[in-house]
Amino acid sequence: MSPRVTAAVAARVLTQLRHDPRTLALLIVVPALLITLLRYLFDGRPQEFDAVGAPLVGLFPLLSMFLVSSITVLRERTSGTLERLLTMPIAKLDILGGYGLAFAGLAAIQAAVVSVVAFGLLGLDVAGSAWAVGALAVANALLGMALGLLVSAFAATEFQAVQFLPAVVLPQLLLCGLFVPREGMAAALRVAADALPLTYAYDSLHRVAADGALGGRGTLDVAVIAGAIVLALALGALTLRRRTA
């Protein structure tokens, strides 16, 4: 692995996004608009906005990075550029690291904008620091990127890749506890929720929002997220085959 090559890949991914200003604008504006929508949905119940708002601010980047990375990497697979990269003196880790760096940077901008809107303009109130929410948002973006990269191996077309969002991410979002407390779910679903990374992403955000600090359990949540990122990237690396049939 070499910092030069990793930086080159990251710069290239960002240049590709720069050539698509509409996608960039959507990535940055849509979460801010949705959180605004949420604020006025809960117009008469500010406590509930506080309870739901912070987890959503932290989970938006996961959704968008999942989509953007699964399609960018799918394009790389189908256009033959991935095959070319793999014939060059480039480590797979450089490719993964480059994508990670680029999308983390983008997620940081996205999280910053939605945080400023939510905390600054809409009066979202959390017990912990808004910075912690932002940092978790970037971590979640990396998780979304790693998952997107992995599922791109199972999609042959962009239509299929888009369908992986409702197939892979939506069930996790339903099970994580954001909509319904996990204690009230069927036992089997609770077990499933415990095995899914988004549950830990939600828990860590919830802890910062409600308790004000991560604490011991929250630190464990973050460790699980980190583990899930590494695992998804490792599995993703396995799908980057230098030799194919």
Partner 1 sequence: MTAIAIRDLVIRRGGRDVVRCPALDVEGGAVTGLMGPSGCGKTTLMRAIVGVQRIAGGDVRVLGRPAGSAGLRARVGYMTQAPSVYGDLTVRENLRFFARALGASEAKVDEAIDAVAVPARAGQVVRDLSGGERARVSLAAVLLGEPELLVLDEPTVGLDPVLRVELWRLFGRLAAEGRTLLVSSHSLEEARHCDRLLLMRDGEILVADTPDGLRRRTGHENLEDAFVALVTERRPVRA
Residue with Cβ nearer partner 1 (79 or 219): 79
CA distance 198 to 56: 12
Residue with Cβ nearer partner 1 (184 or 242): 242
| Nearest distance, CB of residue 85 and partner 1, angstroms | 7
Q: Does 93 contact partner 1 by CB under 8 A?
A: no
Residues 42-81 that bind partner 1 (CB under 8 A): 79-81
Distances (CA, A) of 127 to 51, 144, 196: 10, 26, 26
| Nearest distance, CB of residue 36 and partner 1, angstroms | 31
Distance between the two ends of the chain, CA-based, in angstroms?
A: 26
**Which residues are CB-neighbours of 202 under 8 A, at least 6 positions away?**
55, 59, 176, 177, 178
**For partner 1, which residue of 56, 57, 69, 87 counts as binding (CB under 8 A)?**
87
**For partner 1, which residue of 56, 65, 85, 145 counts as binding (CB under 8 A)?**
85
**For partner 1, which residue of 1, 15, 223, 227 counts as binding (CB under 8 A)?**
15
Residue 199 · residue 193 · CB < 8 Å: yes
Residue 225 · residue 204 · CB < 8 Å: yes
Would you give the distance in Å from CA 107 to the centre of its chain? Answer: 8
Residue with Cβ nearer partner 1 (15 or 129): 15
Name the residues that contact partner 1, by CB under 8 A. Answer: 4-5, 7-9, 11-12, 15-16, 19-20, 79-81, 83-90, 94, 242-245
